[in-house]
Amino acid sequence: MTAIINAAQLVGESAGTRPPVLLDVRYALGGPPGRPEYEAGHLPDAVYVDLDTELAGPPGEGGRHPLPDVAAFGAVMRRAGVSADSPVVVYDGGQGWAAARAWWLLRWTGHRDVRVLDGGLAGWTGPLSTEIPAPEAGDFSPVAGSLPLLDADAAAALARDGLLLDARAAERYRGDVEPIDRVAGHIPGAVSAPTTENVDEDGRFLSAERLASRFAGLGAADAKEIGVYCGSGVSAAHELLALEIAGFQAALYAGSWSEWSAAGDRPVATGPDPR
């Protein structure tokens, strides 16, 4: 099954006999919660899910957006109407990072039918609603482990022996700037692969062929294992989605740079060279 869906396809499926559960996960890094924007207008029947409090655990040793408690995540999904056999479509404001985080979490916990609305709300041309839905509770029971996951030690090993992609902006990878975390730079051996280069000027994913060519050029075609990290495990999920579209499976380092740099005793590389 494809990992993305476009607006026209979503219109058709929503009018069909098995309409997907819609999740609105609008989010802006460092910005206000997306709930007010959701209440001002969202896709009809979409349920709002908060990234900071429902798609992540409390910040701490696991980074700024550690993975949520699996049982708590399951409760959120059931409240939103998600069942084990229900198709799910996730969208955000258009950047795709938050939607990809929700997509990855659902896939990681065993849901098999979840897609991201390509281009997000920005690409939606249909009507919006201000009505807050109250869906019938779903029966989804999450079980972690359906997708590969890395801790800091595994990420370090993969940077040496496989391919570890850094999905942050190139200037953060090089260590030219660091607006969020305490240390600038990257994990030694990681390869710069800004997630912004996975999409076109409208925020829609490049074709599978173009993405496959991009990742092959970064070493994915020859790598036995691939991993991805970013600042806190959010934009990395977008890179994982792009890799899946391109035909590659990769593991997420959920703690990402926020966990790695906070430890204070892990090596740091700077400049354009991986090492």
pLDDT tens track for 177-199 = 999 998 999 999 999 999 999 99
Mean pLDDT score across all residues of the chain: 96
Query: pLDDT tens, 204-260?
Result: 999 999 999 999 999 999 999 999 999 999 999 999 999 999 999 999 999 999 999
Q: Does domain 149-262 have CATH number 3.40.250.10?
A: yes
- Distance, CA of 43 to CA of 38 (rounded, Å): 9
Q: How would you list the strands of the sheet with 191-192, edge to edge?
A: 149-150, 251-253, 226-229, 163-166, 191-192
User: How buried is residue 96: exposed, middle or buried, by Cβ count under 10 Å (0-12/13-18/19+)?
Assistant: buried
The 10s digit of each residue's pLDDT in 125-160 is: 899 999 999 999 999 999 999 999 999 999 999 999
- What sign results for the dihedral spanned by CA atoms 182, 203, 104, 166? negative
CATH code that applies to domain 4-123: 3.40.250.10
With cut-offs at 50, 70 and 90, classify the pLDDT of residue 273.
very high
Amino acid symbol at 245: I
For the chain, residues classed under CATH 3.40.250.10 are 4-123, 149-262
**Catalytic residue list:** 230
DSSP run (H or E) holding 236: helix 235-246
The reported pLDDT for the residue numbered 1 is 65
Encoding tokens for residue 208? Answer: 């599978």
pLDDT at 11 over 80: yes
What does the chain come to in residues?
A: 275
- Confidence bin at 264 (pLDDT 50/70/90): confident
